[in-house]
Structure formats: structure tokens, C-alpha cells
């Protein structure tokens, strides 16, 4: 199957491209390198050194004989988006190409506007390009579990059967997202559902939990195939940050009580989920949603898991929560559709944590301590003053 | 009360500004004249001649002694938006300043992207400006009944009490909008709810039905105070178009069966609703939604009302529906909150229709027949070829 991976240079886009290629699919990758640019803006970099996209692709070809077309450009540039689809003629498009950090979107007005325009316009251009060039293309789009927020009722997979005043309907699951980033994905979901309904497009929205881990079987073949590992308070996901803090002998910084529960998923399961979605496409006109997570844990539980597994002393510190979110809440998520397609989850295990400790130790000298401290506050509109 | 009316040069913004001024409020108006620009783009103009905003404001001052500050600029220009709020220091901001036509948003990709970026970014800038300058400002924002679509369950006012698997929650009412324009308002609503929740802003979302009519007591004081009357297939609302067609001796063009039901509201009630919302502000942190409509009618019923009232022969034609929408559906809307605040509705009456016939007859010579025919088709992505 011909699969185009948008955002194919990113933390998850690159391992996904490798995995799909490994599975025998003809893969192309596209990126505008915005993610590398954010590093320059924030003065941080991936803990694990990463090669250029060109070197990555060459390395993969040298190792496996499999080639990947590379498209360098921006989805908000419609000419680029249309040209790429016309040239590569994918059967599936996997869309990771969005600004993906909640704290980045909350820095200030400019970052909020950038995040929503970048994400919404990129996806709109893609929907139009698919509709005009080949409405049979299956769009596999990365959403986030954060779109749902923390409702008092069970979280279903994208749609909800509602009974109200004696009548029933099947509606998009009501959303209560927690940042302008999460909101941008809610906007995308609404736009996508509309184009499935009126143009008969086919789309799968993968509402992904917090991803942890850094290595997949394919990235481990060669150091030059490594994907990024972000530990900073803006782009680092929570469990990855805790691992670095443990290795450095820093306290693990839990925001608030740590009672916040989140869906989580191992990076090896992420790439498998995308493969399953591509190989089992949605029907024409269908907008389907999978909750792409394997278990739910509280932030406190994640910290305690790291504490328990780390061979050394670990302290857990509770910081004032820079986010506005509920810290003690109901959280019960249905996530069976990917299991039904064949996913065998890697649950949060000592093995995984241990392999992450090894990665963190190997590159601990590259850590900038101050990057671990949260500077973006949900309550302030004007953004943090940059420390110099 | 100091009220800033954004989009104060438009079909509803201008009569609202006049009405608020008449009620004793200190009013300022802002506009970027995008609506007048769309006329040039589409080669149409308001049936009723309208003066420049400056002449309108001068006329009002000459007649009543009441002045209005005028701000010319664009909400997507954050510097403009912040400066205006800092200078005028409103207690309420009434926000009409969005691209407001579903067919315009469906012309092609560029118009869809323009509509969503213009509407979402303008509102984001406004939310940030309010948050930074004075979070006590009450935002009164125009939404649309079209955000809801036509669900199988009763449409509540913005929020829904859901019972699911034995648990309950109060959630944003699930939306299924019918165009990229309607979607832009759904995006706005989600962004607004978020800022009320995390910054403690106060906002009222007025989900307005289809407006008909052209005159209010204030606009009737002088021809130079007239507001626009759009009859074209892109910006003309359905009842206003039917009136023109009747006067010209054309068949009334009903899309499909005409079984589509819509909430409707008289222009005189629109200005009153906005007044009521301003004078009874939301609480800090509250995101409240009013369904701003006074009754529901099918498109066929609207056509038959015009047929019955018009002193002459009227034919009703059913065109292939250029939109993708349900033509026979359940539609039951709760709309009590504005009544509770004191609204006394003008229901669709022979009197109103008759006064509209007079307006249409007076200016019938200005009609361009071809502008009445729908050219934008929901099923086509690439837009109509412009006839020359």
C-alpha cells in the first residue's frame, strides 16, 4: 500500500514511517521541519542526537534496500499539498504534521494563533486536496485523548449514543479540551467529520494518549535511525521527563496533587496502531475515531513507577500546577477498537522503564537543567519572560 | 453602559449599534468593511442603497445628538484589537465581525480557509485582548443555530445534561454543522468556553436563527440610516430572497423539498436580544448560550407565507438542492432564555412581509436577476466558474 506520512521527521512520524516501510508498504515522508525550529526558539534539543531526514532515509535504504520519497514543504501551502498528492498518489495519508504541544500553544497569543492556524489550515488543505484529487484516499489523522478533557461520564470512541427526552441520536462525543493545542484538534475533528458527511471522504481520527518511550525495533537498528527524545517542560511528555529527572538525581516534578489521570501508550504501540488503521481503512463517508491508548494512569502513579524501578534514590516533588485542570476526577475510557483490529499492547513495564533509563544515562550530559522547569502558565495570557 | 459593536457596518451590526445608542448606551462601532468588499468580488450590491459608515454615524448624531466612535480595522490584526479595547474601555463587546455566509465559505478551498482563519483568529485575538486588558468585559458573540445541524433529539441552549451508563454530566451540546462557515462558529464556541473556564472570562454565545426583515425603528428614521438588504444566493437569507422573487414575478426557488426546518427571527428582535444580553451579563467564568430565534418554519412554509401574502401571482419552484442537508427531519428547539430576560417576539406576520414587499418594490430596479440563482454547490470542491 502507498502511504504518505506527513510530519515524517518528528518524534512519532519517523518511527511510523520506518515501521510501515518494514511492513512492506511503499512510504513517502513529508515535513517542514517546524519541530526542529521550535528547538531553536526554545533553546533546547532532543536528548538523543538525531540525523537530518535525508541521512535517516539514506541509512534506511542502505540497511534495507527500501527507499522513501521525501517531500519538504508546509501543508498550509496548498500548492505544495496538492502537488505532493498528485505526484505520490497515496492510498493512505498519515497526518502527524501539526504543532503538538499543549504548553507551546499556551505561551502567549501568538503561539495560540499559530497553533490553531497551522493545524486547522493544514488539515483543511489536505481535506480539499483529497476531495479534489482522489476521494478514495484514507486519511489517518492524529488526534489526542486531551480533546475529551475529563468528563464525569465514560469516554467513548469519538461518538456517543445519547438519549434525551425520550429520543435518541448518535452524536460526536462532546469535548472539553484543556489547551489551545487540544482545541485545534477538536476543530480538525469537526472539519473532518463534515467532509466525510458531505463529500464522502474516509477518515480515521486517532485520539492518542500520552506517548512514552523512544525506541522501536526499526529505530534500534542504527543510531542514525534514532527518533527524538524530548525532556523539556514544553515538548517533553510526562513519563519521559520523569525518567530524565530520575537519572539526573532531580526530584520528579508532579504538577499539583498528581491525581490527574491520563491515557498512555508505548511508542511501539503507536506505530502498530497506525499500521492497523491504514491496513483496515474506514469506509467511504465514514468518520471513525479510535482511542489510541492502552491503559490509564495518574501522574502520581507514573512518578511512583519510575521511583520504584530506578536503581537509586528518587524524590517526588509536587509543584504548583501551571495548568488549569482537574486533579481528582473520574476517568474511564473505552479503547477496544484497536484491540479488535489486532493490537497487543505493551503495558507500562519495568523493562520499558529500564531501557529508557539506559537512553537517558547515555545522553545525560546533553541535558539543560532549566529546560525541565515549567515556565508556561495557563493562567497568564502574556507568556513568560524568556530567561537569558 | 459602554458597548463596542464589532462589525458595526454590517446588516445586523449597524441596526444593533443604533438600537443600543437609542437605549442610552455609549456605543462605538468597528469594521474592516470586508462585507462591502465581498459585494465587489461577487458583483452584487445591497438592494437598499447604504451610506458610508461615516455618513451613517454623522446622520445619527445630527438626528439624536448621540455620537459613536468609529474604529476602522481588522480583528485579525492584534495590535488594532488591543488598541481599540484599551482606548474605548468597553463594558460589553458585541461581536458580529465574522464572515457570515455559508455559501461563501463553500465556494472553494480559499474561501473555506479564509472564513475559518478570519473568524477563529479574530475571536482568539479578542479573547486574549479581553483577558489581558480587562477580564471583566462581557463578550456577546454571534453564533448561529446552524452550529447544531438537525439532530434527532431536542436542541437545548448550548449545554446538554447527559446520562450515560448510569452517570451524568453537563456538556457542550454536540454539534453537526452544515458548512465551513458554521464550523468556524463551532470552533469559536469551543475556544470561548475554554477561556471562560481557565481565565474566568464571561461570554454569551447567541446562536441566531435565520434573520428576516430590513428595518428597525431606528433605521427608519432616515434613509441614510438604512441597513443593507441582501437578496443574492450567497449572502441573501432565504425569506428576504423569496420576497424579492415575488416582487419581480420570479418563482420562489426552494432548495429540494423545502422540508428543511430552520429557526427564524425578525431583525427587530435581533437588536432587542443583543440589548438584553448586554444588560444582563454572564457571570465571571460563565459561558452561556442563548438560542436567538423566535419560531421554527420549514423553507416550504416560508415560501407559502410569501405566496399567501403577496398581492399577485406567485409560483414556487423546487430546485435541486445545492447544499448537502437533510430535507425531512426532526427539529425541536428550546429557546426560552431570551424570553425569560424580557423578549417579546415579533412572529412572522403579514405586516412584516408587507413592509418587506414595499422595500423590495421601491428598489426592484436594482436587482440583478442572475444573482438570485445558486452557483455554489456543496458537493463540488473546486468552486463555480464565474460567469462573465
The DSSP code sequence of B316-331 is EEEEPPSS---SS---
Q: For strand B295-298 and strand A167-172, is the pairing parallel, antiparallel, or unpaired? A: unpaired
The distance in angstroms from the start CA to the end CA of chain A is: 49
Contact check, Cβ <8 Å, B153/A174: no
Closest to B169 (Cβ–Cβ): which among A121, A153, A177? A153
- For chain A, say whether B116 makes contact (Cβ under 8 Å): yes
Q: Name residues 51-110 of chain B within 8 A of A (Cβ).
A: 78, 109
Catalytic site residue from A123, A173, A185, A270: A185
Domains of chain A: 2-372 (3.40.50.720)
Mutation target to probe the A interface, by most A beta carbons within 10 A, among B107, B109, B161, B168 is B109
Cell numbers standing for residue B200: 474566568
Residue A382's pLDDT is what? Answer: 77
Cell numbers standing for residue A140: 489517518
Query: Strands, E, within chain A: which ranges?
Result: 2-6, 26-31, 69-72, 92-95, 138-144, 159-164, 167-172, 202-208, 210-212, 252-255, 261-266, 287-292, 295-298, 316-319
Residue B218's pLDDT is what? Answer: 98
Residue B387's pLDDT is what? Answer: 45
Chain A residues near residue B122 by CB distance under 8 angstroms:
none
Catalytic site residue from B11, B114, B181, B231: B181
Question: Searching chain A, which residue's CA lies closest to the CA of residue B126?
Answer: A109
CA B186 vs. chain centroid, Å, equals 14
Chain A residues near residue B120 by CB distance under 8 angstroms:
116-117, 120, 187
Contact check, Cβ <8 Å, A168/B152: yes
Contact check, Cβ <8 Å, A174/B174: yes
Active site residue A76: no
Phi, psi of A46 (to 5 degrees): -55, 135
Closest to B120 (Cβ–Cβ): which among A116, A174, A197? A116
Closest to A153 (Cβ–Cβ): which among B109, B165, B178? B165
Q: Name residues 127-166 of chain B within 8 A of A (Cβ).
A: 128, 131-132, 151-154, 160, 162-165
Contact check, Cβ <8 Å, B162/A174: yes
DSSP A153: S
Instruction: Give me the helix-helix angle, B13-22 and B267-279, nearest 10°.
Output: 60
Question: Searching chain B, which residue's CA lies closest to the CA of residue A152?
Answer: B169
The Cα of A115 is separated from the nearest Cα of chain B by a number of Å equal to 11
Contact check, Cβ <8 Å, A176/B172: yes
Mutation target to probe the A interface, by most A beta carbons within 10 A, among B111, B117, B168 is B117
Question: Searching chain A, which residue's CA lies closest to the CA of residue B150?
Answer: A169
Cell numbers standing for residue B250: 420570479
Chain A residues near residue B381 by CB distance under 8 angstroms:
128, 131-132, 199
Catalytic site residue from A71, A114, A181, A231: A181
Q: For strand A159-164 and strand A167-172, is the pairing parallel, antiparallel, or unpaired? A: antiparallel
The Cα of B189 is separated from the nearest Cα of chain A by a number of Å equal to 10
Cell numbers standing for residue A266: 508505548
Helix/strand/coil for B227: coil
Contact check, Cβ <8 Å, B160/A153: no
Question: Searching chain B, which residue's CA lies closest to the CA of residue A115?
Answer: B121
Burial of residue B352, with CB atoms counted within 10 A of its CB: 0-12 exposed, 13-18 middle, 19 or more buried = buried
- For chain A, say whether B361 makes contact (Cβ under 8 Å): no
Chain B residues near residue A116 by CB distance under 8 angstroms:
120-121, 124, 187, 191
Q: How far apart (Å, rounded) are the C-alpha atoms in residues B385 and B388? A: 9
Q: For strand B159-164 and strand B167-172, is the pairing parallel, antiparallel, or unpaired? A: antiparallel
Let me know: does A264 contact A239? Beta carbons within 8 Å: yes
Active site residue A144: yes
Residue B385's pLDDT is what? Answer: 55
Contact check, Cβ <8 Å, B132/A160: no
CA neighbor of B135 nearest in space, from A322, A374, A382, A184 = A382
Residue A124's pLDDT is what? Answer: 98
Let me know: does A103 contact A37? Beta carbons within 8 Å: no
Cell numbers standing for residue B81: 484589537
**Element containing residue A119 per DSSP (H, E):** helix A109-133
Residues of chain B falling short of pLDDT 70: 350, 384-388
Let me know: does A187 contact A113? Beta carbons within 8 Å: no
Chain A residues near residue B171 by CB distance under 8 angstroms:
151, 174, 176
Alpha-carbon torsion angle B265, B267, B269, B273, nearest 10? 100
**Element containing residue B288 per DSSP (H, E):** strand B287-292
Let me know: does B234 contact B42? Beta carbons within 8 Å: yes
Contact check, Cβ <8 Å, A187/B153: no
Per-residue pLDDT of chain A (388 residues; tens, 9 = 90+): 999 999 999 999 999 999 999 999 999 999 999 999 999 999 999 999 999 999 999 999 999 999 999 999 999 999 999 999 999 999 999 999 999 999 999 999 999 999 999 999 999 999 999 999 999 999 999 999 999 999 999 999 999 999 999 999 999 999 999 999 999 999 999 999 999 999 999 999 999 999 999 999 999 999 999 999 999 999 998 999 999 999 999 999 999 999 999 999 999 999 999 999 999 999 999 999 999 999 999 999 999 999 999 999 999 999 999 999 999 999 999 999 999 999 999 998 767 788 899 999 999 999 999 999 999 999 988 776 554 4
Closest to B116 (Cβ–Cβ): which among A124, A151, A152? A124
Q: How far apart (Å, rounded) are the C-alpha atoms in residues A59 and A67? A: 10
Contact check, Cβ <8 Å, B176/A163: no
Mutation target to probe the A interface, by most A beta carbons within 10 A, among B120, B178, B333 is B120
Query: Strands, E, within chain B: which ranges?
Result: 2-6, 26-31, 69-72, 92-95, 138-144, 159-164, 167-172, 202-208, 210-212, 252-255, 261-266, 287-292, 295-298, 316-319
Active site residue B336: no
Residue B384's pLDDT is what? Answer: 65
Chain A residues near residue B109 by CB distance under 8 angstroms:
78, 124-125, 128
A366 Cβ contact partners less than 8 Å away, ≥ 6 residues apart: A45, A47, A49
Q: How far apart (Å, rounded) are the C-alpha atoms in residues A139 and B152? A: 28
ipTM score for this prediction: 0.97
Amino acid at each position: 500500500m502507498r502511504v504518505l506520512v506527513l510530519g515524517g521527521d518528528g518524534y512519532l512520524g519517523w518511527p511510523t514511517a520506518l515501521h510501515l516501510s518494514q511492513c512492506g508498504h511503499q512510504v513517502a515522508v513529508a515535513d517542514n521541519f517546524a519541530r526542529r525550529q521550535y528547538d531553536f526558539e526554545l533553546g533546547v534539543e532532543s536528548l538523543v542526537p538525531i540525523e537530518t531526514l535525508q541521512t535517516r532515509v539514506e541509512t534506511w535504504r542502505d540497511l534495507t534496500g527500501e527507499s522513501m520519497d521525501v517531500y519538504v514543504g508546509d501543508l498550509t501551502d496548498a500548492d505544495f499539498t496538492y502537488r505532493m498528492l498528485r505526484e505520490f498518489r497515496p492510498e493512505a495519508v498519515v497526518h502527524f504534521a501539526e504543532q503538538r504541544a499543549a504548553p507551546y500553544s499556551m505561551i502567549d497569543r501568538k503561539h495560540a494563533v499559530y497553533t490553531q492556524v497551522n493545524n486547522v489550515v493544514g488539515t483543511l488543505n489536505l481535506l480539499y486536496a483529497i476531495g479534489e484529487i482522489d476521494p478514495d484516499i484514507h486519511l489517518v489523522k492524529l488526534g489526542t485523548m486531551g480533546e475529551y478533557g475529563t468528563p464525569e461520564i465514560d469516554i467513548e470512541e469519538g461518538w456517543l449514543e445519547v438519549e434525551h427526552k425520550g429520543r435518541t441520536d448518535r452524536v460526536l462525543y462532546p469535548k472539553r479540551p484543556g489547551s489551545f493545542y487540544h482545541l485545534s484538534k477538536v476543530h480538525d475533528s469537526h472539519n473532518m467529520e463534515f467532509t466525510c458527511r458531505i463529500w464522502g471522504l474516509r477518515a480515521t481520527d486517532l485520539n492518542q494518549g500520552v506517548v512514552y518511550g523512544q525506541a522501536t525495533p526499526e529505530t534500534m537498528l542504527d543510531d542514525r535511525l534514532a527518533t527524538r527524545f524530548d525532556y523539556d517542560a514544553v515538548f517533553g511528555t510526562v513519563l519521559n521527563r520523569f525518567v530524565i529527572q530520575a537519572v539526573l538525581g532531580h526530584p520528579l516534578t508532579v504538577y499539583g496533587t498528581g491525581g490527574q489521570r491520563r491515557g498512555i501508550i508505548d511508542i511501539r504501540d503507536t506505530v502498530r496502531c497506525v499500521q492497523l488503521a491504514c491496513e483496515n481503512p474506514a469506509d467511504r463517508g465514514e468518520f471513525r475515531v479510535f482511542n489510541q491508548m492502552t491503559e490509564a494512569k495518574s501522574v502520581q502513579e507514573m512518578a511512583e513507577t519510575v521511583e520504584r524501578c530506578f536503581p537509586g534514590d528518587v524524590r517526588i516533588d509536587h509543584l504548583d500546577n501551571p495548568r488549569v485542570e482537574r486533579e481528582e476526577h473520574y476517568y474511564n475510557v473505552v479503547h477496544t477498537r484497536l484491540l479488535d483490529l489486532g493490537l497487543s499492547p505493551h503495558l507500562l513495564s519495568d523493562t520499558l522503564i529500564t531501557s529508557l533509563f539506559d537512553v537517558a544515562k547515555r545522553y545525560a550530559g546533553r541535558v539543560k537543567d532549566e529546560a525541565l522547569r515549567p515556565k508556561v502558565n495557563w493562567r497568564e495570557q502574556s507568556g513568560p519572560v524568556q530567561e537569558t
